[in-house]
């Protein structure tokens, strides 16, 4: 693989990593339902799968900034993922056992993306503005490949085979990780880490992370129950996979053309648009669950609810956190993601049968409006 350009190697790892996500996210809760778990148990298990983002990213970010061995951490974490999917067949399928496995899985899963984002940005260097979207889109392609392929396979075989499929993809990600070396531009081990508090006090950073929490809180019913929601109505796994992939295709298009937005509008304007469009997305999901066309349209808004918002996040982190703080800066981004989705998943799971799925999605849609109170902290001027 020595002749392969580094951006292709980076893109390859994003592909395999997000193929795992594309296999896990749409179908894992269907697997749990097949194993006999009820909605409240699924909500708790979904939140456990995310809850380690409260603390794991900071542990991994601290280790990465302290040791400078980001790719080593990525390899260790990917290997542990393989072990988890193997253990599914050894440990009894009880609630306690699955909860423990999800806790371990998510602890190591959180080591991968935050640190690999840092590796990518260090490798791309001065070309990151031009190349990041082109590299990152391979993650979206991997997600689509996972959703489509696994959705089609699960039309043929039982969903009880899902852990086997996850084990195969995780093994490919682990092997591919050896093609990527530690970036030479990244700082080596640091005896004394730079403090984060002065950065976190900046209005742009504080307001952005609060908005991220609110935005991801609204995403919780989608990430935890969207597949079950559609499955109850009568959608097939193929149709569910197609709708998930529509969102990621929209995300890929946004990664390709985000510069058109970033060079014409301020971050304040763009984040405001992300909040309002995300709210509209969940309202459509809740109001018209049986109408495939409207679900399709709602999924295209993922270009803004994740794609554009993520591009802005990467710029805020790289512009505000120093080279020696990047591991912890990326970790904070992951932590707020976890806080938002985990807290929202637990609430959605608790109230799902009480209020109904459509009501939960409509409440999620209105919750995004809270984020508008914090956009004043973002810059008015254009910062591409």
- 9 closest CA partner among 185, 114, 135: 135
Joined together, the tokens standing for residue 112 give 């991968």
148 vs 66: CA distance, rounded Å:
40
pLDDT in tens, 216-263: 999 999 988 898 899 989 998 888 888 988 988 898 899 888 888 988
Torsion sign, CA atoms 163, 166, 170, 172: positive
Question: CB–CB of 315/122 below 8 Å?
Answer: no
User: pLDDT value at position 331?
Assistant: 78
Task: Please report, for the chain, the start and end positions of each structural domain, with discontinuous segments joined by +.
Answer: 6-376
pLDDT in tens, 269-316: 999 999 999 999 999 999 999 999 999 999 999 999 999 999 999 889
47 vs 106: CA distance, rounded Å:
10
Instruction: Calculate the CA 307 to chain-centre distance.
Output: 11
Per-residue pLDDT band at 191 (split at 50, 70, 90): low
316 vs 212: CA distance, rounded Å:
12
pLDDT exceeds cutoff 70 at 190 = no
Torsion sign, CA atoms 321, 78, 142, 227: negative
209 vs 128: CA distance, rounded Å:
22
Cα atoms in the 13 Å half-sphere on the side-chain side of 257:
7
334 vs 112: CA distance, rounded Å:
11
190 vs 364: CA distance, rounded Å:
42
Tokens 């810059």 belong to which residue? 379
Helices (H), the chain: 6-34, 39-51, 56-67, 70-87, 95-124, 128-153, 162-177, 197-200, 203-233, 237-262, 267-287, 292-300, 302, 309-320, 326-355, 357-367
Q: What is the mean pLDDT of the chain?
A: 87
User: pLDDT value at position 3?
Assistant: 66
pLDDT exceeds cutoff 80 at 189 = no
Is the CATH number 3.60.20.10 carried by domain 6-376? no
pLDDT in tens, 22-38: 898 888 888 998 998 88
- 50 closest CA partner among 364, 341, 352: 341
pLDDT in tens, 132-174: 888 888 988 998 888 888 888 888 999 989 999 999 999 999 9
């Amino acid at each position: 693989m020595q002749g392969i350009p580094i951006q292709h190697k980076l893109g390859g790892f994003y592909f395999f990593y997000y193929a795992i996500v594309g296999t896990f996210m749409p179908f894992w809760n269907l697997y749990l339902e097949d194993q006999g778990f009820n909605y409240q148990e699924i909500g708790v298990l979904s939140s456990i799968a995310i809850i380690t983002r409260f603390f794991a990213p900071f542990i991994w970010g601290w280790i990465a900034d302290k040791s400078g061995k980001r790719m080593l951490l990525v390899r260790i974490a990917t290997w542990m993922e393989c072990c988890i999917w193997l253990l599914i067949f050894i440990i009894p399928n009880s609630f306690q056992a699955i909860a423990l496995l999800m806790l371990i899985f998510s602890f190591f899963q959180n080591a991968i993306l935050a640190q690999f984002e840092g590796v990518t940005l260090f490798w791309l260097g001065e070309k990151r503005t031009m190349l990041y979207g082109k590299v990152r889109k391979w993650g979206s392609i991997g997600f689509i490949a996972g959703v489509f392929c696994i959705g089609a396979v699960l039309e043929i075989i039982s969903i009880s085979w899902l852990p086997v499929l996850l084990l195969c993809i995780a093994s490919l990600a682990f092997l591919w990780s050896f093609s990527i070396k530690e970036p030479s531009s990244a700082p080596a081990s640091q005896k004394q880490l730079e403090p984060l508090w002065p950065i976190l006090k900046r209005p742009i950073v504080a307001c952005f992370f609060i908005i991220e929490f609110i935005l991801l809180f609204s995403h919780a019913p989608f990430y935890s129950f969207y597949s079950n929601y559609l499955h109850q109505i009568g959608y097939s796994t193929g149709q569910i996979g197609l709708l998930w992939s529509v969102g990621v295709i929209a995300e890929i298009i946004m990664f390709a053309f985000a510069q058109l937005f970033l060079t014409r509008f301020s971050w304040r304007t763009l984040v405001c648009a992300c909040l309002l469009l995300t709210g509209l997305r969940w309202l459509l999901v809740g109001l018209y669950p049986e109408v495939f066309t409207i679900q399709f349209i709602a999924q295209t808004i993922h270009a803004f609810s994740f794609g554009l918002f993520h591009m802005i996040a990467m710029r805020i982190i790289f512009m505000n956190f120093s080279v020696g703080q990047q591991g912890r800066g990326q970790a904070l981004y992951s932590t707020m993601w976890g806080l938002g989705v985990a807290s929202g998943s637990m609430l959605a799971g608790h109230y799902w049968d009480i209020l109904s799925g459509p009501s939960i999605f409509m409440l999620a849609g209105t919750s995004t409006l809270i984020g508008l109170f914090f956009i004043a902290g973002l810059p008015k001027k254009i910062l591409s």
